[in-house]
């Protein structure tokens, strides 16, 4: 399983300044076949300085969720660190 890219990333406006809520389409490779999965994710800056990423997957998937969520969180964290998410 590999995350290829996030497409159509859109930031939703919410009044809490330390949370950023996004909607996107994740292109992932499952069993050598790319699939597009719609998802929402939230990036929250905690008071301790830790950044927490929460995923909301609206569809039922025929793949174990724990490794999928781990890979998606790592990918989102990497592109957020590079400044590639919309403000």
Residue 60, pLDDT score = 82
pLDDT in tens, 16-61: 999 999 999 999 998 888 999 999 999 999 999 999 999 998 778 8
Residue 7, pLDDT score = 96
CA–CA distance, 81 with 73 (Å, rounded to integer): 12
For the record, the structure tokens of 46 come out as: 């905690």
Q: In what order do the strands lie in the sheet with 19-30?
A: 2-12, 19-30, 33-45, 51-56
């Amino acid at each position: 399983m590999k995350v290829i890219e996030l497409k159509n990333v859109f930031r939703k406006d919410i009044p809490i300044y330390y949370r950023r809520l996004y909607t996107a389409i994740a292109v992932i490779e499952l069993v050598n076949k790319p699939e597009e999965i719609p998802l929402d994710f939230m990036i929250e800056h905690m008071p301790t300085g830790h950044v927490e990423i929460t995923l909301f997957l609206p569809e039922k998937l025929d793949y174990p969720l724990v490794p999928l969520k781990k890979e998606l969180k790592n990918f989102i964290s990497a592109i957020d660190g590079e400044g590639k998410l919309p403000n």
